[in-house]
Amino acid sequence: MEQQNGTKKNSGGRPKKAIKRDQLMAIKCTLYERKIIEAKAKKANLTISEYLREIGLTAKIDYRNKALPKEILSFAGVLNHLAANLNQIAKKRNSNDELSPLERAELNVQTQKIKDIAVQIKNFMP
């Protein structure tokens, strides 16, 4: 509302903030983690939002390289394949079926692959 002399009349209410925080973020945590975050915010005399913003904007984080080397991913793929084959063999043996000569040969091949992977892992590790 304008008054007669051209100035705006204060219409009341909460004043506008210079920086409007209108973006909502939700986080997942355990009850234990929540209680710790709430306690730390209270100790710092901040709201939870202020506390998490401050930590997120200023804290130093030790970045972990979550990408595994391609050799490890390859080993994992081969091990998964071997595990599936060994599971099929175990299932057959548990049902009192005998292994055919082809299955015995495959078992020997799988056993050698496991030994080779174990050697490669030993060589790869520092």
Contact between residue 9 and residue 3 where contact means Cβ atoms under 8 Å apart: yes
The per-residue pLDDT for 49 is 93
Helix (H, G, I), strand (E, B) or coil at 2: strand
The per-residue pLDDT for 3 is 56
- Domain ranges for the chain, please list them: 29-61, 70-124
- Per residue of the chain (126 residues), give pLDDT as tens: 555 566 667 678 888 888 888 899 999 999 999 999 999 999 999 999 999 999 999 988 777 666 777 877 787 788 888 778 777 777 777 777 777 888 778 878 877 887 887 777 777 665
The per-residue pLDDT for 43 is 93
The per-residue pLDDT for 44 is 92
Token duo for residue 17: 């903030």
Residue 67 CA: distances (Å) to CA of 62, 64, 71, 80, 100: 15, 9, 11, 19, 41
Helix (H, G, I), strand (E, B) or coil at 121: helix
Tokens 């091949």 correspond to 109
